[in-house]
Structure 1
Amino acid sequence: MQAHWIADRMSRIEISGIRKVFELARNLKDPVNLSIGQPHFPVPEPIRQAAKDAIDRGDNGYTVTQGIPELRNAIQEDVTRRLPDQERPVLITAGTSGGLMLAMCAAVNPGDEVILFDPYFVAYPHLVTLAGGKSVFVDTYPNFDIDVNRVRDAITPKTKVVLFSNPSNPTGRVLSPTILKDLAELCREKNILLIADEIYRSFWYDGDFRSAAEFNDDVLVIDGFGKSYGITGWRLGFAHGPKPLIEEMTKLQQFTFVCAPSIVQHAGVTALHTDISPIVADYKAKRDRMCAELGEYYEIARPGGAFYVFPKAPHGTGTEFVQEAIRHNMLIIPGGVFSGQDTHFRISYAASDDTLDRGIELLKKLARR
Structure 2
Amino acid sequence: MHPWIADRTAAFDASGIRKVFDLAAKLKDPINLSIGQPDFDVPDQIKEAAIDAIESGRNAYSPTQGIGPLREALKADIAKQYPHEDRDVFISSGTSGGLMLAMLSMINPGDEVIYLDPFFVMYPALLEMCGGVSVRVDSYPDFRLDPAKIEAAITPKTKMILVNSPANPTGVTASPAELKAVAEIAAKYNIALVSDEIYSRFFYDGEFDSPAKYNDKTIVIDGFSKSHAMTGWRVGYVHGPSEVINTMLKLQQYSFVCSPQPAQWGALRAMEVNLDGYIEDYSRKRDLICDGLSDLYEIAKPGGAFYVFPKAPSGSGTEFVERAIEKGLLIIPGKIFSKQDTHFRISFAASDETLNRGIEVLRELAK
TM (normalized to structure 2)?
0.99
Which runs of 5 or more structure 1 residues have no equivalent in the other structure? none
- Does residue 315 (structure 1) correspond to residue 314 (structure 2)? The answer is yes
State the one-letter code of the partner of 2:55: D
Q: How far apart, in 2, do the equivalents of 1:267 and 1:166 lie?
A: 26
Q: How far apart, in 2, do the equivalents of 1:41 and 1:132 lie?
A: 38
Q: How far apart, in 2, do the equivalents of 1:339 and 1:113 lie?
A: 18
- Does residue 80 (structure 1) correspond to residue 75 (structure 2)? The answer is no
Contact 1:80 1:86 in 2 (8 A): no
SS at match of 2:182: helix
Q: How far apart, in 1, do the equivalents of 2:30 and 2:40 lie?
A: 18
- Does residue 364 (structure 1) correspond to residue 363 (structure 2)? The answer is yes
Q: How far apart, in 2, do the equivalents of 1:251 and 1:322 lie?
A: 43
Q: How far apart, in 1, do the equivalents of 2:357 and 2:145 lie?
A: 34
What's 1:183 paired with? 182
Q: How far apart, in 2, do the equivalents of 1:87 and 1:267 lie?
A: 28
What's 2:227 paired with? 228
Summarize the alignment of residues 156-235 of structure 1 with structure 2, pairs less than 5 Å apart.
156-235=155-234
What's 1:31 paired with? 30
- Does residue 349 (structure 1) correspond to residue 348 (structure 2)? The answer is yes
Q: Please state how far the C-alpha of 1:87 moved relative to its aligned partner.
A: 2.5
Summarize the alignment of residues 69-148 of structure 1 with structure 2, pairs less than 5 Å apart.
69-148=68-147
What's 2:328 paired with? 329
State the one-letter code of the partner of 2:188: E
Contact 1:212 1:219 in 2 (8 A): yes
State the one-letter code of the partner of 1:361: E
State the one-letter code of the partner of 2:58: D
Q: How far apart, in 2, do the equivalents of 1:200 and 1:20 lie?
A: 24
SS at match of 1:63: coil
Contact 2:224 2:267 in 1 (8 A): yes
State the one-letter code of the partner of 1:135: S
Q: How far apart, in 2, do the equivalents of 1:247 and 1:154 lie?
A: 30
Q: Please state how far the C-alpha of 1:243 moved relative to its aligned partner.
A: 1.1
SS at match of 1:200: coil
Contact 1:38 1:350 in 2 (8 A): yes
What's 2:56 paired with? 57
SS at match of 1:5: coil
What's 2:240 paired with? 241
Contact 1:120 1:164 in 2 (8 A): no
Q: How far apart, in 2, do the equivalents of 1:87 and 1:360 lie?
A: 48
Q: Please state how far the C-alpha of 1:148 moved relative to its aligned partner.
A: 1.3
Summarize the alignment of residues 281-292 of structure 1 with structure 2, pairs less than 5 Å apart.
281-292=280-291
1:218-243 CA-to-partner distances (Å, cap 9, x unmatched) read 11000000000001011110000111
State the one-letter code of the partner of 1:329: G
State the one-letter code of the partner of 1:273: E
What's 2:261 paired with? 262
1:11-46 CA-to-partner distances (Å, cap 9, x unmatched) read 002100100111111221100000000100011000
* Structure 1 runs (4+) greater than 2 angstroms displaced: none
Change (3 A) 1:86 1:314: farther
Q: How far apart, in 2, do the equivalents of 1:108 and 1:199 lie?
A: 21
State percent identity of aligned pairs: 56
1:293-342 CA-to-partner distances (Å, cap 9, x unmatched) read 11101000010000000000001100000000000000000000000000
TM (normalized to structure 1)?
0.98
Q: How far apart, in 2, do the equivalents of 1:84 and 1:134 lie?
A: 33
Q: Please state how far the C-alpha of 1:86 moved relative to its aligned partner.
A: 4.0
SS at match of 1:234: coil
SS at match of 2:299: coil
Q: Please state how far the C-alpha of 1:357 moved relative to its aligned partner.
A: 1.1
Q: How far apart, in 1, do the equivalents of 2:121 and 2:192 lie?
A: 20
- Does residue 251 (structure 1) correspond to residue 228 (structure 2)? The answer is no
Summarize the alignment of residues 2-13 of structure 1 with structure 2, pairs less than 5 Å apart.
2-13=1-12
Number of aligned residues: 367
Q: Please state how far the C-alpha of 1:289 moved relative to its aligned partner.
A: 1.2
State the one-letter code of the partner of 2:328: N
SS at match of 2:232: helix
Q: How far apart, in 2, do the equivalents of 1:256 and 1:190 lie?
A: 31
Q: How far apart, in 2, do the equivalents of 1:239 and 1:309 lie?
A: 27
Q: How far apart, in 1, do the equivalents of 2:108 and 2:86 lie?
A: 25
